[in-house]
Amino acid sequence: MLATLERIDPHSDRIDLLVTLVEHLRPSRRQPPAAAADAVRTLTQLLKGNPAHASALHSYLARLLDSRRHASLYTDIGILSNDGFVTELKRRLAYRFLPPALGDIYLSDAIDQVLYADTDYLWISAVPTPDWLALFDTVAAAKPAAHTAPADPGRTLLLGMLEAIRTLSCRVCALGLEPRLLRSHAEIEDFDSPFLMQNIEVNDYLDGYERLLADGAPPEDARHLLVMLDQCSAVIDKVRKNAATQGTSVALTYLLLALTQSIDRLRKLLFLVDLSGALPAAPTLDLAQKADEATPASEPPTSLRRAAAIALAEELIEAHNKKYAVREMVAANIDLLARNVTENASRTGEHYIADSRRELGGMFLSSAGAGVIVGFMALIKILMSSLRAAPLVEAFLFSMNYSLGFVLIHTLHFTIATKQPAMTASRIASGLSSKDGRTIDLDSMADLISKVFRTQCIAVLGNLATVLPVAYLIAFGWVSLTGKHLVSPEKAHHMLQDINPIGSPALFYAAIAGVCLFVAGLISGYYDNKALYTQMAQRVTQLRALRGLLGPERLQRLGLYLENNLGGLMGNFFFGILLGTIGTLGYLLGLPLDIRHVTFSAANFATAWVALDQRMSLELALTSIGGFLSIGIVNLVVSFALALWVALRARKVRFKQGIALIRTMGRRFLYAPIDFLIGPKHTPAGAIDSLSSRGST
């Protein structure tokens, strides 16, 4: 480290010496990040003991800072570009493999050369704030080296931040007037846009700052500017809330995130350049601990400003190390979109939850109707498989059979039991969501889960209650009409082996079907969100050709139906495609991929039973029945677990009260087992409150 200090040339602005000096501070791979604090203290002591080295380093850093442009460091690092989500994603993917060329013009390029390791932000943040300030104060207090042009690093940094404030303000103004934002919050056009007004305020504030630097005239206070920024943030929050009912898109989500980041950076820079000491710190800056560590004996404004400078520097370095990270950008942008997709699935899930025995009876009839249709879908699939078509043709035929059948079931308001979990999981996650994550009403949540449990059990029973006899009657009727069985005995044994839970990968294939169910739930939520965001009903009613064909009233009803059911239709359609193509995809790739669905497995069992002339050993019958019941359980558990996980992630819920929730549900079962399993005849007022008081005692 001392040898590197001796090599520093105060007249040079080459970056390689600074790179070498930082390498002495950077811990090795075997050392923890906190080991960098000892290296920083060592460098500080060396500079204090060698004033000549401190002077040379002061002049060298001042010259280096003066030769680079600073504004882009504050306006680009840690803030999404204006290029849009897809362009930014492609840029990051390309730069991860081949980074861009670095020059000697911008300070951000210098940081890229000095802090080239992706983990540099870890050891930099691990160094205590007093150690960094002691190092910076030692360098700043050193006199410039002899025969060097005087340079003021503080003024250079200040001018760069002022330029960044102007650039960020113009960017906020432009983004705030984007058509997609105006469409989501049309009230902006009725009044003076806060995005436009903040730019006017920023220009006035910077003009006053220029007068201060020129002749010492004090600038106006920036508090009114912060009021404009608060109004901009309020508009962003309102647009995000409206997205729950109006839908959203990746482009709008990207725009809102870029606006939020730009406004937040504006607040931080304004706090750093403020001279009045009256501006509040940015809400995202946690300065209390850093201010206490940094300069506890100094005046509060100075202490907070020094702490804010350290916090912003660490934030910029972390963002710089992660500027080509793909996962973080995707995660930050899809949070709101995922929230609204699962929110739409949650609203759909309300239809899959029965509150009373009467509603459970309605769910049984609805699922029984679906079982009838599935029985005929199983027949069509068997006939299609007998064609022995080419693999891709067979996959297409299977997909259309599944897709059109599921769409018909949805159109007739019937229910496939395995479609419920992906919808009801989002409803449960919305019940678990709270502001602090600790104030969840466990009794209400247990009541909701018990409703979901018995509703899904009744739906499964409804599917099986009709699909088994319908498939049996179809197979028996086929023999009566044609004189031969629908499938051969060999095929029947193969069908039974396919649902064997022990001697075949049936449960693994059932898990794959559960994943398909989960994906179908996401697709449903996505298209429901899309229908709301694009105002599907209004767009359909504007089709003149259909208006002349159907008439205005029917066309309006069609538009409303599509807006309310587009998610269900598309989710069922794509679910059918997934079920119909997975097996063929596994065949083409040579991978063990296939699906097992409880209702189709039950239909195959009934068909095989007829093909074997009702001659089946008790062991084989019990194994087969246990097989399709096990397949149903795996279908439900996998799809429910995945949907609940995504819904909780989208709502940023960390639920840690699972044991307490299980105990609450256990009390409910012991207190009223019949009501827990088949639901109450009616829901009396105050029943939940009464049960809650019993649980608390």
| Model pLDDT for residues 661-693, shown as the tens digit of each residue | 677 777 777 777 766 666 666 654 443 333 333
* Whether residue 189 is found in the same domain as residue 227: yes
Task: Report if residue 104 sits inside a domain.
Answer: no
**234 and 140 share a domain?**
no
SS3 106: strand
- Regarding whether 662 and 581 lie in a shared domain, the answer is yes
| Last-in-domain residue among 324, 351, 380 | 324
H or E stretch at 88: helix 85-97
- Distance in angstroms (rounded) separating the CA atoms of residues 697 and 694: 5
Q: Are residues 490 and 566 located together in one domain of the fold?
A: yes
**320 is in which domain, residue-wise?**
70-99+152-324
Read off the amino acid at residue 434. Answer: S
Residue 457 and residue 445 in contact, taking contact as beta carbons nearer than 8 Å: no
Residue pair 401/380 in contact (Cβ under 8 Å)? The answer is yes
- Report the range out of 217-226, 410-419, 500-509, 563-572 with the highest average pLDDT: 500-509
Predicted TM-score (pTM) of the model is: 0.68
pLDDT range class, residue 697, cuts 50, 70, 90:
very low
Q: Is the pLDDT of residue 436 over 60?
A: no
- Whether 456 and 570 map to the same domain: the answer is yes
Mean pLDDT across 304-318:
86
- Among 260, 55, 208, which Cα is nearest to 142's? 55
**Which residues, in sequence order, are CB contacts of 401 under 8 Å at separation 6+?**
377, 380, 381, 384, 576, 580
Asked if the structure places residue 671 within a domain, the reply is: yes
Please check whether residues 144 and 157 belong to one and the same domain. no
Between these two residues, 645 and 604, which has the higher pLDDT value? 604
Helix (H, G, I), strand (E, B) or coil at 69: strand
pLDDT greater than 70 at residue 344: no
Q: What is the per-residue pLDDT for 185?
A: 74
Q: Are both 126 and 245 inside the same structural domain?
A: no
Span 355-365, mean pLDDT? 82
Same structural domain for residues 76 and 184? yes
- Which residues make Cβ contacts (< 8 Å) with residue 106, sequence separation at least 6? 68, 69, 72, 73
CA nearest neighbour of 524 among 394, 639, 361? 639
**Backbone torsions φ then ψ of 232, nearest 5 degrees:** -65, -45
pLDDT at 689: 39
Question: Are residue 182 and residue 313 in the same domain, yes or no?
Answer: yes
User: Is position 418 within any domain?
Assistant: yes
In this structure, are 492 and 443 located in the same domain?
Answer: yes
Q: Which of 151, 172, 195 is the last residue of a domain?
A: 151
Q: Are residues 654 and 554 in the same domain?
A: yes
Predicted confidence at residue 638, as pLDDT, reads 87
Confidence band for 594, pLDDT divided at 50, 70 and 90: very high
Specify the higher pLDDT residue, 185 or 478. 478
For 69, phi and psi rounded to 5 degrees?
A: -90, 135
The partner residues of 106 in beta bridges, in order of sequence, read 69
Residue 331 lies in a domain: no
Question: Rounded to an integer, what distance in angstroms lies between the CA atom of residue 453 and that of residue 263?
Answer: 46
Closest by Cα among 112, 109, 196, 212 to 162? 212
- pLDDT at 372 > cutoff 60: yes
Amino acid residing at 314: E
Residue 110 lies in a domain: no
Mean pLDDT of the chain: 81
Number of CB atoms found within 10 A of residue 489's CB: 13
- In the chain, the number of structural domains is 3
Domain's final residue, options 324, 348, 372: 324
Whether 109 maps to a domain, the answer reads: no
Q: Are residues 532 and 401 in the same domain?
A: yes
Note whether residue 629 is domain-resident. yes
Residue 264 has pLDDT above 80, yes or no: yes
